[in-house]
Amino acid sequence: MDIMYYIGLEVHKKTISFCVKDASGQVHQEGKVGATRRELDSWIKTLPQPRTMAMEATIFTGWIYDHLLPHAQQVKVAHPLMLRAIAAAKKKNDRIDAGKIADCLRCDFLPECHMASTQIRDRRRTLRYRHLLVRQMVQMKNRISGLLMETGVSYNKQRLHKVGYFRELLSTNEDVHESIRPLLKLSRDTVVRLQKTEYALVSSLQRDPLLADRVKRLRTVPGVGPITALAWALEIGDVARFRSIRQAISYCGLCGEEKSSADKVMRTPLSKQRNKHIQRVLVEAAKLAPRQDHDLALVYETEKQKGNANRATLAVARKMVAYLLAVDREERDFVPAENYQRAAA
């Protein structure tokens, strides 16, 4: 029977510290290797087999995980916060950390986190880049408004970023000083360029064969547009990993933490342990959804009567998670409650 070797990796930008242990905990190899594909290929040839590897989730984890996966029976990724709680120690350095990860792996204590497929991660990177473009676009629009306000130019706030109005403003308004005209034109050109790039990114994702059918189904949910549908598909990934609606709501950051001791139970504000990307998109969608669907409007009004509009928005977001989860699991379009009851009757 072959001895399994457990390899813990402490990943950094330029180097990776490693520790190789057998099932009894005996150290077979320790050291550092450069965080490049060429150096990893040379290092892999020196390792005993069969082997299982584990590392902590970091910004560098994705490509290392993909690169090592064909060379090990398993490659696992650990949740940073949970791993820190399990492997806490007074003395801490890269060598010790790699050994701790190897120990957690061989004792089956590793708090493993979900690793999305390479295809999903590649497309998710594109969607998150789109958010960066939108932020830059908003900054440039605010800069245009700021330049006009600094120089005392009156303008129509609602129409300022319309192409025709902006051109007319520069050509007919004598209050627009010559010193800011080049800056205004540069800012406007930047906004237009960012808009075109953002549109191209979203269109390419919507047409992607891997996502097209799924996004089309998700968009049948009230209040769900292309960005919300794409964010759900790419941030959630495999919907089967959520056993309940509660788990999905927690992952989306739409509930608070619970701290209980004896008979006292205290709810805290929204937990920071969440996927902030899907949280942001769902909250924004939940602000508009009650205008488009009677059931969601009823959820909003019921919660708002308790005195807090923000909690009402979160209640709508949680309801939307339930809808999205059902549509995704059953792989069919959303059916409103009254239509479903009518069909059943």
Sequence letter at residue 112: E
Query: Quick one: DSSP state of residue 13?
Result: S
What's the residue count for the chain? Answer: 345
140 alpha carbon, distance to own chain's centre: 25
Q: Which of 206, 198, 207 is nearest to 132 (CA)?
A: 198
Please classify residue 191 by burial: count the beta carbons closer than 10 Å to its beta carbon, then call 0-12 exposed, 13-18 middle and 19+ buried. buried
Inter-residue contact 78 to 54 (CB < 8 Å): yes
| Residue entry with tokens 């009757």 | 345
What's residue 274's pLDDT? 86
Per-residue pLDDT tens digits of the chain, which is 345 residues long: 578 999 999 999 899 999 999 998 899 999 999 999 999 999 999 999 899 999 988 888 999 999 999 999 999 999 887 777 666 666 778 888 888 899 889 988 888 888 889 999 999 999 999 999 999 999 999 999 999 999 888 888 889 998 899 998 888 888 888 888 999 999 999 999 999 999 999 999 999 999 999 999 999 999 999 999 999 999 999 999 999 999 999 999 888 766 666 666 666 677 778 889 999 999 999 999 999 899 999 999 999 998 888 889 999 999 999 999 999 999 999 988 666 555 444
Predicted local confidence at residue 344, as pLDDT: 45
Q: List the structure tokens of 232.
A: 């759900």
Of residues 61, 68, 72, the one with CA closest to residue 115: 61
DSSP letter for 2, please.
P
Q: In this predicted structure, what is the pLDDT of residue 93?
A: 82
pTM: 0.86
The DSSP annotation for 264-291 comes to EEEEEEE-SSS-HHHHHHHHHHHHHGGG
Kindly give, in sequence order, each residue whose CB lies less than 8 Å from that of residue 84, ignoring residues fewer than 6 positions away. none
Compute the distance between CA of residue 96 and CA of residue 92 in angstroms, rounded to an integer: 6
Q: What is the four-CA torsion angle of 276, 123, 222, 335, rounded to 10 degrees?
A: -120
In the chain, where does DSSP find H-type helix?
A: 37-44, 61-68, 80-86, 94-106, 118-150, 163-172, 181-207, 212-218, 226-236, 245-251, 276-288, 294-304, 309-330, 337-344
CB of 112 closer than 8 Å to CB of 57: no
Q: Name the amino acid, one letter, at 105.
A: L
Distance CA 174, CA 305 (A): 51
Residue 12 tokens read as 């950094």
